[in-house]
Amino acid sequence: MLEIQNLTKVYGKLTAVDDLSLRLDGGGIMGFIGPNGAGKTTTIRVVATLLKPTSGTAFVDGIDVVLHPEEIRPLIGYMPDFFGLYDNVKVWEYLDFFAAAYRIPKSKRRSTIDDVLELTDLAGKWDSFVSELSRGMQQRLCLAKTLLHDPKLLLLDEPASGLDPRARIEIKELLKELGNMGKTILISSHILPELADFCNKVAIIEQGKLVVSGDVEEIMEQCRGGVVLKIGLIDRHEEAILFLQGLETVGEVKTENGLVAASYTGKPGEQHSVLEALATNGFKVKSFVEAEVDLEDIFLKVTRGAVA
Ligand SMILES: Nc1ncnc2c1ncn2[C@@H]1O[C@H](COP(=O)(O)OP(=O)(O)OP(=O)(O)O)[C@@H](O)[C@H]1O
Ligand SMILES: [Mg+2]
């Protein structure tokens, strides 16, 4: 559905995107992750046909975005990171305007608008002024606008930025639903854990270069060894540390906020053997938790490698 090929974008002396290649099959949901200035927006804007690359190109559904931008536009829904607002415009007027711009026939506009309002949970707001909606609702309205022409590929540039935790969850649920509807989605963020549970692919970029891309699970797997067991003990901390260091399935051990943090290097799913060993040797364990490896950890690990 989306294939980015050797994409490079140079602004003056700065190479914002550097020979980036990326592939996303139909129905995939890819988290496009990188720190500020990594080149996410630049990449997305090239795919959205709003920016000409310096070299390289991208294909949407096999069509070249540089050569045939007008054929690309019906296929994509682009949600920018910042969007302007209109004073004195009502929700339905806003959507009707864009529906007309997308050349949706007048006879179909009403039902299309109802559908996207329903989907974005704004049905009750159709007659409200856009400027009077909360930030979270405005963000959902922008997404509704993006969905009017039923695009196959959604390009969402930080759709949850600036939202409170509740509004974030709402956007997340909505994106999950779009994924279930079979849309292909490229979604950028630097708030990593947020993407973990509904993306099936991830691409990490830094300084315009691709650091890693692939299935979320595969990348998690590559970063194994990052499982840390956090163990709370009633007493004998120092002894426990020495004991743990002697175990074959444990690597580095340190103290963290009164807990013993032991990196687990044994077989996946057999962490309980460490707990058993402690209990058998008379250590009084009051808590035993596996610190989850989330996308944030992966990100830090992978990019640290790249920078080094
Ligand atoms: N129009 C422009 N002219 C000059 N430099 C630009 C322009 N747009 C972006 N840049 C630079 O290109 C680099 C990549 O910017 P980009 O906006 O693509 O990053 P980003 O990954 O989206 O960052 P953020 O997470 O902050 O949104 C940055 O160093 C930025 O300053
Ligand atoms: Mg950006």
10 Å Cβ neighbour count for 43?
A: 30
Weakest-pLDDT range from 118-127, 146-155, 289-298? 289-298
Atom of ligand 1 nearest to the CA of 39: 18
Task: Return the residue whose CA atom lies nearest to atom 24 of ligand 1.
Answer: 36
- pLDDT at residue 190 tops 70: yes
What is the Å distance from ligand 2's center to 196 Cα?
19
Q: In angstroms, rounded to a whole number, what is the distance separating the alpha carbons of residues 79 and 148? A: 12
- Residues in the 5 Å CB sphere of ion ligand 2: 40-41, 81
Instruction: Tell me, using a 6 A CB cutoff, whether residue 41 lines ligand 1.
Output: yes
Q: In angstroms, rounded to a whole number, what is the distance separating the alpha carbons of residues 5 and 17? A: 12
**CB-side neighbour CA atoms (13 Å) of 258:** 7
Distances (CA, A) of 232 to 78, 227, 263, 279, 288: 48, 16, 14, 12, 6
- Looking at residue 124, its pLDDT comes to 92
Nearest ligand, CA 17: 1
CA nearest to 213, candidates 18, 75, 82, 33: 33
Nearest ligand, CA 204: 1
Instruction: Tell me, using a 6 A CB cutoff, whether residue 11 lines ligand 1.
Output: yes
Task: Return the residue whose CA atom lies nearest to atom 18 of ligand 1.
Answer: 39
What is the Å distance from ligand 2's center to 136 Cα?
19
What is the Å distance from ligand 2's center to 277 Cα?
49
Mean pLDDT along residues 95-106: 92
Amino acid at site 156: L
Q: Which 3 state secondary structure label does DSSP give 113?
A: helix
Please name every residue paired with 285 in a beta bridge, in sequence order, or none if there are none: 233
Instruction: Dump pLDDT digits (tens) for 128-141.
Output: 999 999 888 898 99
What is the Å distance from ligand 2's center to 266 Cα?
39
Q: In angstroms, rounded to a whole number, what is the distance separating the alpha carbons of residues 80 and 150? A: 17
- pTM for the model: 0.78
Instruction: Dump pLDDT digits (tens) for 35-48.
Output: 888 999 999 999 99
- pLDDT at residue 202 tops 80: yes
Nearest ligand, CA 191: 1
In the chain, the domains with their CATH numbers are 2-221 (3.40.50.300), 224-292 (3.30.70.100)
Report how far apart the first and last C-alpha atoms of the chain are (Å, whole number).
34
- pLDDT at residue 189 tops 90: no
What is the Å distance from ligand 2's center to 201 Cα?
19
